[in-house]
Chains A and B, each alone.
Chain A
Amino acid sequence: MAEVQLRNVTKHWGGFTAVDDLSLTIADHEFLVLLGPSGCGKTTTMRMIAGLSDVSGGEIRIDGRKVNALEPKDRDVAMVFQNYGLYPNLNVYENIRFPLKVRKIDASTHRERVLKAAELVELQDLLERRPRELSGGQRQRVALARAIVREPNVFLMDEPLSNLDAKLRVSTRAQIKNLQHELSVTTVYVTHDQIEAMTLADRVVVMNRGVVQQIGTPMEIYDRPSNTFVAGFIGSPAMNLIEGSLAGGVFKAGDMRVSGLPDDGRDGDVVLGFRAEDAFVADGEEPAELEAAIYSVELQGDATMVTMRVGGELCSIKAAKSFEARIGDPLRVRIPSGICHRFDKKTGARL
């Protein structure tokens, strides 16, 4: 097992900066998720750790050893790819065995190790099959077994669930979580799916345009987003972000008025954020922070998502599943100051 350190790591593609001055330490046994939209630099970062892409600047250390100049095979990492990366001409057994064979590991141990890895991902009955005879989920489990079999220092997983359907994604996600718990191997996992990040990670690194936006535990990222990008990226639905003005601890925007916010002199144009599940429909005549006509009502099974327009923005709140109203009906919503996050309007940074 190993600690992975990235020190001021940069990657340029010609004039384009894919990863900009990234510094990060991934602790031994940690499950770290690189999260962000397409093109944010998360896969490039993983490929640099694997040695599949050169580092333009900075250094990468695995288990204290600088690996910038090392070939991928010498870094003692195993990687799981989005498209599985299985050898189509080899059966499942030979696919799992492949790293042992090419690394000239004692052949007498192969069978035992392959069977153990296959058992961990429940593939023992499929060892004679070719990849084309397997479902997407089974193929990804073969890729996982192939990564496990060599007992590497670090697992790298590049969007391994992206090609699976929603149901299979949930079960395979649980399998990956369990595997990491069993094997306790340092894991770097790349995804654009914030649910995967929240459910799997010990820590999440949120990236955008090659720059780290926030590093923290899933709850830290969710509860205290460091800027409007993170606030808008994490959570489903995304955090409501309303532009308005703040004066003396009171925020105003259209039909919305929230008082009781910290009066710390940061008055002026701000963005106020709150999560749909933290706000609620006001009872009776109690004072409400927002009064507006309903824009849309969406029944989600376990709750009802109600959307209103505040100034130029749409604002959602999660109501009980029994909530009934029609589009255009007036609605009064409680938005306690304690659930609100303030962000600088210009920089997007948390205030």
Chain B
Amino acid sequence: MKPRIFLFFVGPSLFLMTLFIAVPLVSVFVQSFFVTHQVFHEVTTKSCSPGFMKQTCTESTRTEPVLGPDGVPKTETHFVGLGSYRSLLKPAAVKAAFSAAGNGIGDLLNIDFYRALRFTLTFTLVTLPLVIGFGMLTALALNNVTQAVRGPLIFTFLLPFIITPIIGALAMRWLFVGNGIMADALNGLLSQHFAILAHGWSLELLMLFFRVWYVAPFAFVIFYAGLQTVDRDVMESAIVDGASRVERLRYVIIPHLAPLITFVALIHLMDAYRVFEEIIGFSSQAHRISLQWLTYDLLVPDSSGNRAISRASASSMLTLIGIVILLIPLLRRAWREHLGRG
């Protein structure tokens, strides 16, 4: 294809990608180095009583926003360098946590950012193998059942993925809240009252379970499609050569599905690292928060109506950096596979 024709094809996509991805990204990056706040000035007012004999006057000072000519409060933007990052990462507090007087990890996890990072990383790295494992097992099982029942079973397995995540999370929370069906069943089973939503660790397990339940069908449908393309001759060669089911899985199926496994892992890592719906759906803010939720929380206006846009931008950039670090090994692997095939 001539470069000019190629440019005609990819030009519109490049333009839109720049407009809707690169520009906001650069904007967030820039905003993370600046703090914008309203300009206030002190107004001193003197009020006197209409007294007889002697008039009493008092002076009071208060701060008021400075209004521009159009009546809108004036704002000022200052370059703060890495100040917003510092206010999130709190290096001094981290140093203190690991000093002789500190409590190490315990103190570290009292800082919002590290608390969110700990949960986000656990959530991402624990759900990843479970999603791939359950997706693969379901696909293999379904690939071996009679053709007649495959359609209804595929539909049933896909149902969790069809449900909106926030609705799914809320529905699951209601199962375990107060006298929900599952809460009652659990209490009956344990012969004692156990509020699963009241404990951080049990709530976290429930959130992990929900994500695996919700995303495994995506992995399943990708792997099931991949299984349909396994070369029959290769599979039968392995059977005649004497390979067991596990060996066929190891030497034939998994190598064949490797690009799809990488794809599912990439998508899941990007998605899970931005975990948000579970925090809202399970109302877990008191026990567990994620990096994405932290960004959202910083953007919520405080009682004065101010938003911590600079810190929110810094939080977004740190989330982005985290995703890139997690993706690097997979991207390297995908690149090596690409070179190998070329």
Q: Is the CB of A98 within 8 A of B255?
A: no
Whether A85 and B242, one on each chain, are in contact in the complex, defined by CB atoms closer than 8 angstroms, is no
CB distance from B243 to the nearest CB of A (A): 5
A81-B241 in contact (CB<8A): no
Q: Is the CB of B240 within 8 A of A50?
A: yes
Q: Does A346 reach chain B (CB closer than 8 Å)?
A: no
- Residues in A whose Cβ lies below 8 Å from that of B238: 87, 98, 102
CA A265 – CA B341 in complex, angstroms? 71
Inside 8 A of A71's CB, which chain B residues have their CB?
A: 239
Query: Which residues of the other chain, A, contact B271 by a CB distance below 8 angstroms?
Result: none
Interface membership of A251, Cβ < 8 A:
no
Is A79 positioned at the interface, with any CB of B under 8 Å from its CB? yes
Q: Give bound CA distance, A281 to B244, whole Å.
A: 64
Q: Is B162 an interface residue (CB 8 A)?
A: no
Interface residues of A in 205-254 (CB under 8 A from B): none
B327 in the interface (beta carbon within 8 A) = no
Q: Is the interface of B mostly helix, strand, loop or mixed?
A: helix
Say whether A146 faces chain B, with CB atoms less than 8 Å apart: yes
Minimum CB–CB distance from A4 to chain B (whole Å) comes to 15
Q: Which of B103-111, B145-153, B209-217, B228-236 contacts A (4 or more CB under 8 A)?
A: B228-236
| Interface residues of A, count at CB 8 A | 28
Interface bits A16-50 vs B (CB < 8 Å: 1, else 0): 00000000000000000000000000000000001
Q: Mark A148-163, 1 if CB is under 8 A from B, else 0.
A: 0010000010000000
User: Across the interface, which residues of B come within 8 angstroms of A174, CB to CB?
Assistant: none
The answer to whether A102 and B255 touch (CB under 8 A), given A81-B236, A85-B231, is: no
Bound-state Cα–Cα, A73 to B237, Å: 10
Any A CB within 8 A of the CB of B251: yes
Q: Which of B231, B233, B244, B341 contacts A102 (CB 8 A)?
A: B244
- In whole angstroms, how far apart are the Cα atoms of A40 and B252 in the complex? 30
Chain B window 246-280, contacts with chain A (Cβ cutoff 8 Å), 1 for yes, 0 for no = 01000110011010000000000000000000000
In the complex the two chains form, what is the Cα distance from A143 to B241 in whole Å?
11
B31 to nearest A CB, angstroms? 47
On whether the beta carbons of A90 and B242 are closer than 8 Å, the reply is: no
Q: Does A83 contact B (CB under 8 A)?
A: yes
Q: Report the Cα distance A203→B313, complex, angstroms.
A: 80
Contacts of A315 in B (CB 8 A): none
Given A87-B252, A87-B255: A103 in contact with B234 (beta carbons within 8 A): no
Check A99 for interface membership: any CB of B closer than 8 A: yes
Q: Does A82 belong to the interface (CB within 8 Å)? A: yes
- CB atoms of A73 and B240 under 8 A apart: yes
Which residues of chain B are near A146, meaning CB under 8 Å? 237, 241
In contact, B239 and A98 (Cβ under 8 angstroms) = no
In the assembled complex, how far is the CB of residue A82 from the closest CB belonging to chain B, in whole angstroms?
Answer: 7
Q: Decide yes or no: A85 and B236 within 8 Å by CB, A99-B242, A102-B241, A102-B243 being known contacts.
A: yes
Give Cα A98–Cα B255 distance, bound, in whole angstroms: 15
Residues of A within 8 A of B231 (CB): 83, 85
B255→A78 contact, CB < 8 A: no
Q: For residue B341, which residues in chain A have a CB less than 8 angstroms away from its CB?
A: 132
Q: State in angstroms the CA–CA spacing of A156 and B238 once bound together.
A: 14
> Is residue A84 within 8 Å, beta carbon to beta carbon, of the partner chain?
yes
CB within 8 Å of A: which B8-56 residues:
none
Given contacts A82-B233, A84-B233, contact A72 B255 (CB under 8 A): no
Which residues of the other chain, A, contact B251 by a CB distance below 8 angstroms? 87, 89-90, 98, 102
Q: Which of A73, A88, A143 contacts B239 (CB 8 A)?
A: A73
Q: How far is the CA of A143 from the CA of B236 in the complex (A)?
A: 13
* Chain B residues whose C-beta falls within 8 Å of the C-beta of A197 in the assembled complex: none
Docked CA distance A210–B60 (Å)? 109
Give the docked Cα–Cα distance between A10 and B33 (Å): 79
B233 touches A85 (CB 8 A): yes
Q: Is A86's CB within 8 Å of the partner chain B?
A: yes
Q: Does B233 lie within 8 Å of A72, measured CB to CB?
A: no
Taking the complex as formed, is A200 at the interface, i.e. its CB lies under 8 A from any CB of chain B? Answer: no
Set of chain B residues within 8 Å of A77, measured between Cβ atoms: 240
Contacts of B255 in A (CB 8 A): 87-89
CB contact under 8 A between A79 and B242, given known A88-B255, A90-B251: no
Instruction: Give the CA-CA distance A99 to B256 in the complex, in Å.
Output: 19
Bound state CA distance, A84 and B235, in angstroms? 11
Q: Are B234 and A86 in contact (CB under 8 A)?
A: yes
- Do B236 and A79 touch across chains, with their CB atoms under 8 A apart? yes
Q: Is A327 an interface residue (CB 8 A)?
A: no
Residue A195 at the chain B interface, CB threshold 8 Å: no
Min Cβ gap A306→B in Å is: 43
- B252 — which chain A residues lie within 8 A by C-beta? 87
Q: How far is the CA of A100 from the CA of B234 in the complex (A)?
A: 16
The verdict on A52 contacting chain B, using a C-beta distance below 8 Å, is yes
Q: List 20 A-B contacts (CB under 8 A).
A: A52-B236, A72-B240, A73-B241, A73-B242, A79-B236, A79-B240, A81-B236, A81-B237, A84-B233, A85-B231, A86-B237, A87-B237, A87-B252, A88-B234, A89-B251, A90-B251, A98-B238, A98-B251, A102-B242, A103-B241
Q: Which 4 A-B pairs have the closest CB atoms?
A: A85-B237, A85-B233, A73-B242, A89-B255
A-contacting residues of B (Cβ < 8 Å)?
231, 233-234, 236-244, 247, 251-252, 255-256, 258, 341
Q: B-contacting residues of A (Cβ < 8 Å)? A: 50-52, 71-73, 77-79, 81-90, 98-99, 102-103, 132, 143, 146, 150, 156
* Further 10 A-B residue pairs, CB within 8 A, beyond A73-B242, A82-B233, A102-B241: A73-B243, A79-B240, A83-B231, A85-B234, A85-B237, A88-B234, A89-B255, A99-B242, A102-B243, A146-B237
